[in-house]
Each structure stands twice: as C-alpha cells, then as structure tokens.
Structure 1
Amino acid sequence: MTETAKRGKFALSFRATELEARSGICAVAQELRLQGVSEDTAGDIEIALAEAINNIVEHAYSGIESGNIRVICSFQQSRLDIRVSDKGVPLPAGELPEGAPAVITDDRQDLPEGGFGWFLIRQLTSDIRYDRINGHNRLSMRFDLA
C-alpha cells in the first residue's frame, strides 16, 4: 500500500484484494479522524467507502487479474470529496446501480444476498457520480461535514 498525505488532501493505493482493501479502508478512516472528522461522520464515510471498495474487489476484478485501487480524499470547506479509481471491468451499462432498498419480508431466508450496498452509499453521500475514462473506473463521492 502506498500513501501520501498533506493537510486537506490525502491519497493511497493498494491491491484489489480483500485483505489489502480492508487495510486501505482502515487507513482512510484513521486519516479522517486525524484530520478532525467526527467519530460518527468518519464511521458513515467508512461504511460507504467499504461498500464501494468491496464492490470493486468482488465485481470489477472478478475473473481477471487483480489490479490497484486508488483513493484520493480532498477536504473542501464543509465537505469531503473522495474519488476511488480502478482499471477493472466497468459498471453494467456504464451507470451506477439505482440502489433501491430491498423489499423486506417476514421470511428472512427470502432476503437477497446483495443489493443493500448501493442503497447505503446513496444514503450516506450528498452526491455520487461514476465515469469510465480511458479504461479507468472513477467513482466520486461527496460527504457533507457540517
């Protein structure tokens, strides 16, 4: 894992594996707290980031050689912008999933295995965008800090 930091902005890169992804997510969460982000807000950001990065590990690099994930965090007045990029497979149709909440029934065994992640990400961010540029996936997430 490679990491750079300066006041107001920091970045890191790591391999798209479960173990390195977890280490990368923890490193971002730790840096957020060092930069003065409240515990609750840092926790919400960590959840959204974990969902996004785990999707990259599980889907963008599924069936192909694992590549790198790059995370860039930039503080702007009362918000935090995070850009996550990779060279994996693009999102289906080149668009973010809708992220509608799953219908919950009384029978828990009927709950879908996935589908909650994008809903969580959308709930925890103030803005989210996806682009595929020159073979790179770019997910941009904005978090309000005030």
Structure 2
Amino acid sequence: MDLSLDGLPNFDVSVRSGEFAIREALEEAIAALRAFQLDLEQASIVQIILAEVLNNILEHAYPPIGPVGPIHIRCARSRDGLLLDIKDNGRAMPDGKAPVGCSKPVDVAIVDLPEGGFGWFLIKDLTHDVEYRRVGQENQLRLRIAFGANGSG
C-alpha cells in the first residue's frame, strides 16, 4: 500500500493471465481496498467492476488456448472516488475501443435469456468514466468510480 502525493491510499496488483488470475487479482485487490475504508456497497461495486474487466481480459485478450501475459491493476483513491488503471499485453479490443455495453432483455423466458454481453453494460453502468486505448502492444483501460465527496455512494 502506498500513499499518493495528496496522502490518499493507492495500490498495485500484478498477476499473470491463466486459470487462477482472476481469483488471485481479486483477493489481492480486496485486501488492499480495506485501507480505502469503503463501505460494503462501494467495495462490492469495485469488486464487480474488477471481476468483469478481468474476466474480459482472460476471455478475449488472453484466450485460454493462447499465451499467458501480464495484467496490472493500479487503484488510486481520490477525494470523490477511485481511479482504476488496468493494463495487459493481450489482444486489442475490436475497433480499438471499449464495447458499447448495451442492456439485454431480461423479461423473457429463461431459455431465451441471452448468454454473455452484460459485462460491459455493468462496467459502464457502475463507473463514471471509461477510457480505453492501445499503446504499442499494451491495452490501457482507465475507469473512474465516483463516490460522494464524503466517501458515500
């Protein structure tokens, strides 16, 4: 755990893609988030966002039959929320940008429920800013999660 220039906590988590990467990264991130003194709802939001992003990285950037590579998460506390920077060296996102993330119909029969496609909708719904860019061989995703000025959601 480090402190930023303004004295607010931040942390870095680095893992290699692979079968247990999501679990390992989430365990480290959740442990580090304790210093941020988030309430249960805020911590849950961060966990959902990280789980969705990491799942997408492992499913699309580093598919199971492909080579493994690094995943790096940097999280910084700000006065009004969190800033997450997530980087990997996997495949670039299609069209060089983050997916739109549309909601899916859920008022249908169970057998007609769509599989997948909710991840980017959730990520964009739970964050206030999403920036993606490809720099050389690196995917760079920046997410801002806003909480109230006093830390409330």
Instruction: Give your verdict on TM over 0.5.
Output: yes
Cα distance in 1 for partners of 2:32, 2:115 equals: 31
Structure 2 residue corresponding to 1:128, chosen from 127, 130, 137: 130
For structure 1, the residue ranges without an aligned partner over 5 or more in a row are: none
Work out whether 1:37 is the aligned partner of 2:38: yes
Q: 1:74 is paired with a residue of what secondary structure?
A: strand
Matched AA of 2:117: G
Work out whether 1:9 is the aligned partner of 2:5: no
Cα distance in 1 for partners of 2:79, 2:39 equals: 15
Is contact 1:60-1:88 (8 Å) kept?
Answer: yes
Work out whether 1:116 is the aligned partner of 2:118: yes
Cα distance in 2 for partners of 1:145, 1:26 equals: 22
Cα offsets for 1:2-29 (capped at 9, x unmatched): xxx2132110100112312212112212
What's the C-alpha RMSD, in Å, of the aligned pairs?
A: 1.2
Cα offsets for 1:30-73 (capped at 9, x unmatched): 21122211111010111011000110011101142010100001
Q: 2:103 is paired with a residue of what secondary structure?
A: coil
Cα distance in 2 for partners of 1:26, 1:35 equals: 15
What is the number of residues matched between the two proteins? 142
- Aligned residue for 2:151? none
- Aligned residue for 2:145? 143
Q: 1:18 is paired with a residue of what secondary structure?
A: coil
Work out whether 1:27 is the aligned partner of 2:28: yes
Q: 2:26 is paired with a residue of what secondary structure?
A: helix
Measured after TM superposition, the shift of residue 80 of structure 1 is 0.7
Measured after TM superposition, the shift of residue 108 of structure 1 is 1.4
Is contact 2:129-2:144 (8 Å) kept?
Answer: yes
Runs in 1 of length 4+ with deviation above 2 angstroms? Answer: none
Cα offsets for 1:98-143 (capped at 9, x unmatched): 1110122422112221100111101110111101001100111101
Cα distance in 1 for partners of 2:82, 2:108 equals: 38
Cα distance in 2 for partners of 1:40, 1:61 equals: 30
Q: Percent identity?
A: 35
Cα distance in 1 for partners of 2:36, 2:78 equals: 12
Measured after TM superposition, the shift of residue 97 of structure 1 is 0.8
Is contact 2:36-2:77 (8 Å) kept?
Answer: no
Cα distance in 2 for partners of 1:134, 1:106 equals: 43
